Amino acid sequence: MTSAVVALVVVKAFFPGSPAGQESSPGRPSASSAAQSAMQSAAQPEGPQSSSPSSEPYATGRAPAAALDALLTKSAADREKVTDAVNAVESCASGAAVAAARSDLNAAAVRRDGLVEDLSRIAVEEIGGGRAAAEELRTAWRRSAEADRAFARWAHDAAGCSPGRVPHGSDYDRGVASSGLATQAKQEFLRRWAPIAVRYGLPVRDHIRI
């Protein structure tokens, strides 16, 4: 019986792209395996993921935005008192009512000054768009204080008036003019403030409520 001759065929492993005949060393990974390992390593994050930098200004601005909103609430209460005082002078129901209205108007002007001071203590620069909005609000409150004082002088001049017969002199005109400028500044403030209020879940107001 013819014995079978077993031919051993030695198959050499080559690195892809390497010169022919260059064998891979025993124990060394092939180039394709090494590349795959490198890609897997690059895909895996190293260490904990950092928070998104875009969300950081929002988190930082939340507290000053809430503080500014609290001032708006105080301002809304003052506006109602001023409106009532001006109406009291206009109606001239009695001398005592006009005198009380004058006192209320002067007190409102002082409170407006206080709001401006309180606003200066808030870090509005930490609110995205807060600096420009605060500048408009500061202007609005200063104009409102000017109007309050002008109307208070008008109330002083109206002492001794008769119901339905209240004089409207230069102080009254100054009050109306300053009030109009205050309204313009408030509207511009609200245009800038509305998206900030929405961002932080704060009330969206109109110029009558600040």
> What is the per-residue pLDDT across 69-128, written as a single tens digit (0 to 9) for each?
999 999 998 888 999 999 999 999 999 999 999 999 999 999 999 999 999 999 999 999
pLDDT at 9: 33
Q: Tell me, what's the pLDDT at 156? A: 97
Count of alpha carbons within 13 angstroms of residue 109, beta-carbon side: 19
What's the DSSP call for residue 52?
A: P
C-alpha 91/C-alpha 162 separation (Å) is: 9
Joined tokens for residue 7: 């031919």
Amino acid residing at 57: P
Of 152, 136, 142, 158, the C-alpha closest to 82 is 152
Residue 180: predicted pLDDT: 97
112 close to 124: Cβ distance less than 8 angstroms:
no
Closest CA to 183 of 157, 151, 153, 144: 144
Q: What is the mean pLDDT of residues 137-156?
A: 98
Span 151-207, pLDDT tens digits: 999 999 999 999 989 999 999 999 999 999 999 999 999 999 999 999 999 999 988
Q: Give residue 56's pLDDT band: very low, low, confident or very high (50, 70, 90).
A: low
Whether the pLDDT of residue 49 is over 50: the answer is no
For the entire predicted model, the pTM comes to 0.71
Report the alpha-carbon distance of residue 171 to residue 155 in Å, rounded: 9
Q: Are 194 and 186 in contact (CB under 8 A)?
A: no
pLDDT at 82: 95
